[in-house]
Amino acid sequence: MTTEISTQRAGGLALQSFDDAFRFSKMVAASEFAPKDFRGKPESCLLAIQHGSELGLSPMQSLQSIAVVNGRPAVYGDAALALVQSSPACAYVREYVEGDGDNLTAVCEVQRRGYPQPTVAKFSVADAKKAGLWGKTGPWSQYPSRMLGLRARGFALRNAFADALRGLVTAEEAQDYPTPEPAREPVVVRSKPQPDVRTTPADVAPLVTTSPQDDPVGKAKMSISAAKTIDRLDTIRRTIDERVAEGVFTQDQAGELVQLTIYRAEMLAGEEVAT
């Protein structure tokens, strides 16, 4: 491995080839210096180092400043601020808060040289509540003012210095995005050689609620019970996923409804065999 010390900037080891970088990544991944998400993962270390180098970060700075959130790279807010402040285009960055209590607002003001007006971004308690962040377990409960400031900072820096950040969102913001739900398996219909002669109206009674008019789950059960084709059940299945995303159904309710669609599909398959 090349052990030349960079004389251009305080960048530590100068990794001059892919082999150098990968050997260095393997060494870091096996050490206590690797962040938790990179420990034992030399390939991830290498990609973080490469991504950081495109921002102007040294190898170790890259590993400490680049995070992977939901499969996408992001940069921590303090590193984003350092990158912008080190840019020749940056005249100043000012951060402060206005108001207090429920009227608290974090403000970040960034002046880019050659621009007549500074870029100003604000993030308030009201904004945090609207996004479902205020009181959220973790940093939003422990350091709420800090989290407001990081949101305002991320918006202002990305708006004024997209070239310095290469379009990366701050890691603190990315971590607040909901984790994508894994795709559900399609309804699988298992054909039956004979109809189930034990099936009675009582067997399908759980599909119907006594007062479905004001109960979205009850309405969904009635729709499943009334479905006559597999295509209709697939449509209902997609609607269930949409209602989960909208917050109408909980995951438990959606799981119950999906099981009912499978049960109904099996009944339809049995009826087709019988005919």
According to the model, what pLDDT value does residue 49 have?
Answer: 87
154, part of any domain: yes
191, part of any domain: no
Same domain, 215 and 234: yes
**Please, what is the Cα angle at 170 between 13 and 82, to 5 degrees?**
50
According to the model, what pLDDT value does residue 145 have?
Answer: 93
How does pLDDT run along the chain (275 residues), one tens digit per residue?
A: 444 433 344 445 667 788 888 888 999 889 988 888 888 888 888 888 888 888 888 888 888 898 888 778 889 999 999 999 999 999 999 999 999 999 999 999 999 999 999 999 999 999 999 999 998 889 999 999 999 999 999 999 999 999 999 888 898 988 888 766 655 666 655 655 555 545 444 444 444 444 445 688 888 888 888 888 888 888 888 888 888 878 888 877 877 887 787 777 777 766 654 55
* Contact status, residue 227 vs residue 264, Cβ threshold 8 Å: yes
262, part of any domain: yes
Q: Number of folded domains in the chain?
A: 3
Cβ count near 248 (within 10 Å)? 15
* Domain stops at, among 35, 69, 103: 69
pTM score > 0.95 for this model?
no
Same domain, 243 and 162: no
96, part of any domain: yes
pLDDT of 209-229, one tens digit each?
A: 444 456 888 888 888 888 888
Q: What are residue 72's DSSP bridge partners?
A: 69
The domain in which residue 46 lies consists of 1-69
183, part of any domain: no
